[in-house]
Amino acid sequence: MNTSKISLLSKVLLLIASVLFFVSLLFPMWQIELEAPQYPEGLVLKLHAHKIGGDVEIINGLNHYIGMATLHTENFIEFKVLPYIMGFFGVFALAVIFLKSRKGTLILFGTFVLFVILAAVDFYRWNYEYGHNLDPNAAIIVPGMAYQPPLIGYKQLLNFGAYSIPDTGGWLLILAGLLLFAVVFKEFDLMSKFKKKNSLVAIFILTSGFIVSCQNKGVEPIKLNVDQCVFCKMSIADGKFGSEIITNKGRVYKFDDLRCLTSYIEENKTEVKSHFVNQFNADNVLIPAETAFYLKGGDISSPMRGNIAAFSTQEEVDIFKEKLNAESLIWEEIRK
């Protein structure tokens, strides 16, 4: 048996990866979405392999006021070379199939990983220069403020929320990379490397740590007298009535009153993944809004006159209901 030859399964995976490299050229690779009260539907910058698309002119117009450079495809050499790089990887994958080389799969995967690292560094450099090299004669100057978009994820830039994620083409490249990893994993029998007890324990610890870190992402503690309500623009000062939402895209918005939260969602048609409210009988403790118990009216006085207090148990509601001369209500009634 010639162990230098690759298996049929690996050939199929390489063929799929090759197709993905070529097909990715038909779609945007990355997108940066911008949201602000004056643009509830958002603005989006689409980064294709060969051009910049999306709401480029509008974004350029807005950025002009704060001194940021305008964006033009011809100013970036990346858009000239990226199509060729994707074509190179597509052809490379096909060549490995015909050469039937196990070593070739490793070189292909290693080259792709190197490309991803260099692309991330280049993208960060581009974002940094774009957000820091500002025109000193701009109409709006905020001392010490930079406008660097996030490499990936969410970042607040003045009254704009910037959300940077892969687009369709980017996800196709990620899938291609995973397929290449699967080929290398199979051809070099990497599973045998993890059969030792210590390796399995290490994998378990790393995996558990990753899961815990993912679970910890989401709800953010409200910083009293620092964070601002995104709806009424008042500082959040009372830890008994604050609230927070996390959108389907992972963005976090904070409010000083449940009335502001519901009004913001209604006005902006926001798709919300989860809601959190401050527990009334605790000091700035957020609890899931869907499972909380509520009282309204009576002696309850919240910052924006929503006058709703949240509790973690029905027993707490029963205790405070008479004290506050308030009425019980449920989450579904608040959301109406």
Q: Which residues pair with 278 in a beta bridge?
A: 286
1: pLDDT confidence band, cut at 50, 70 and 90?
A: very low
Cα gap 155→167, rounded to integer Å? 18
Q: What is the pLDDT of residue 32?
A: 92
The amino acid present at 112, given as its one-letter code, is F
Taking the CA atoms of the chain, what radius of gyration do you get in angstroms?
A: 26
Does one domain contain both 140 and 25? yes
Burial degree of 35 (CB within 10 A; 0-12, 13-18, 19+):
buried
Helix and strand numbers (H, E) in the chain are 9, 12
Checking if the pLDDT of 254 tops 90, the result is yes
Does one domain contain both 166 and 255? no
Q: Name the CA dihedral angle for 190, 192, 196, 200, rounded to a multiple of 10 degrees.
A: 50
Does one domain contain both 253 and 196? no
Checking if the pLDDT of 191 tops 70, the result is no
Closest CA to 78 of 56, 53, 51: 51
User: What would the pLDDT profile of 90-132 be if each residue is shown by its tens digit?
Assistant: 999 999 999 988 999 999 999 999 999 999 999 999 999 988 8
Does one domain contain both 26 and 166? yes
Cα gap 274→261, rounded to integer Å? 12
**Span 8-35, mean pLDDT?**
94
Q: What is the pLDDT of residue 2?
A: 44
Residue 208, SS3 per DSSP: helix
Structural domain boundaries enclosing 87? 8-209
pTM of the model: 0.65
Does one domain contain both 185 and 311? no
What total of structural domains would you count in the chain?
2
Q: What is the pLDDT of residue 104?
A: 93
Q: What is the pLDDT of residue 194?
A: 57
**Span 229-233, mean pLDDT?**
89
Cα gap 71→66, rounded to integer Å? 14
User: What would the pLDDT profile of 196-225 be if each residue is shown by its tens digit?
Assistant: 545 545 545 544 454 444 444 468 899 999
Q: Which of 209, 234, 266 is the last residue of a domain?
A: 209
Find where tokens 């409200």 sit.
222
Residues in CB range of 40: below 8 A, 6 or more apart:
267, 268, 269
Cα gap 264→232, rounded to integer Å? 9
52 contacts 70 by C-beta, under 8 angstroms = no
Q: Which helix (H) or strand (E) holds 274?
A: strand 272-278
Please count the other Cβ atoms lying within 10 Å of the Cβ belonging to residue 291.
9
Closest CA to 268 of 52, 115, 42, 106: 42
Does one domain contain both 203 and 247? no
Cα gap 252→240, rounded to integer Å? 19
**Span 66-72, mean pLDDT?**
89
Q: Which helix (H) or strand (E) holds 64?
A: helix 56-65
Residue 232 lies in a domain: no
For the beta sheet containing 293-296, the strands, ordered from the edge strand earlier in sequence to the opposite edge, are: 308-311, 293-296, 327-329
Residue 216 lies in a domain: no
Does one domain contain both 182 and 263? no
Which range, 63-72, 147-156, 269-278, 307-316, has the best average confidence (pLDDT)?
307-316
Q: Which of 184, 209, 234 is the last residue of a domain?
A: 209
Q: Which of 209, 232, 259 is the last residue of a domain?
A: 209
Report the mean per-residue pLDDT for the chain.
87
239 contacts 309 by C-beta, under 8 angstroms = no
Residue 272 lies in a domain: yes
158 contacts 141 by C-beta, under 8 angstroms = no
195: pLDDT confidence band, cut at 50, 70 and 90?
A: low
Query: 3-state secondary structure string, 23-63?
Result: HHHHCCCEEEEEEECCEEEEEEEEECCCCEEECHHHHHHHH
Residue 2 lies in a domain: no
Residue percentage of the chain with pLDDT more than 90: 60
Most distant pair of Cα atoms in the chain: their distance: 84
